[in-house]
Amino acid sequence: EGVVGSDRIIKMLTISDGQLAVEGKGIYSIEKFLIARRLMYWQVYLHKTVVSAEYMLLKLIQRAKILARRKVELHASPALHYFLYHTMDAEVGINQEYKGEIPLLLFAQLDDIDIMSAIKMWTQHSDFILSYLSKGVLDRKLLRLEIEKKPFDSNRINEIKQQVKDNLNLTDDEVSFLVFSDTLSNNAYSDSQHTQINILQKNGMMDIASASDISNVATLSETVRKYFLAYPKEND
């Protein structure tokens, strides 16, 4: 599903009235691209295995940040250590204690090696949550993920949380890193002014959703939302 005729799309690009557009004869390549994009998102990019690994990594970093605020020493590269132990301003992206270029330079040094080397060391950390998540990511023992079209029942979520708390002897704060619910959303095409795909035809230029004779293309701009519940597999 992910095979797209990118070379043909590039050849069909043109400029009309100062706007980027695709020549009319390239409309079928664009239709195929949009449909492939939708399929790839739900089958690959938002696959439950990918989502589980991504959220475990997110929870792992969040836990490391909490421990850093508590002055718990964590193994990390100089660049990663800086961001774990300093509070950053979300808007300007710099340390409030230091108005300079150092945070940006350190951020540019961060890559997968910094994260994976830290995770390898954190598997042996005394904090159970940090160690548990690190081992899970490293050994690919991911949290089980259930995906539904409707929100999960809060009573069921609380029941699973209580079971995990009892099984692993966790606090309410700790269990939130292993049992959680969130949403997944995807729209394969945004028809807003700055992101729409223009098709140049003999009678003028129009948006792909209007130009296409496939009804599915118009519906691709609608946001599809799904819900997931994550919890340890041993809790099944």
* All residues at 6 or more sequence positions from 118 whose CB lies less than 8 Å from its CB, including other chains: 64, 74, 75, 76, 77, 80
Task: Please give the C-alpha separations between residue 16 and each of 22, 28, 195, in angstroms, as whole numbers.
Answer: 9, 19, 16
50/88: higher pLDDT: 50
pTM: 0.80
Binned at pLDDT 50, 70 and 90, residue 71 comes out as very high
Note the pLDDT of residue 36: 86
Contact 184, 226 (CB under 8 A): yes
Residue 214: per-residue pLDDT: 67
Give residue 206's pLDDT band: very low, low, confident or very high (50, 70, 90).
confident
Q: What would the pLDDT profile of 80-128 be if each residue is shown by its tens digit?
A: 999 999 877 654 444 555 555 677 888 899 999 999 999 999 999 999 9
Query: Quick check: 123 and 198 in contact, CB under 8 A?
Result: no
Looking at residue 236, its pLDDT comes to 59
Q: What is the pLDDT of residue 188?
A: 78
Asked if 152 contacts 229 with a C-beta cutoff of 8 angstroms, the reply is yes
Distance CA 158, CA 123 (A): 27
What's the CA gap between 181 and 183, in Å, rounded?
A: 7
Distance CA 145, CA 162 (A): 18
DSSP single-letter state for residue 133 = H
Mean pLDDT check: name the lowest of 11-15, 60-64, 161-165, 187-191.
Answer: 187-191
For tokens 């193994």, the residue is 75
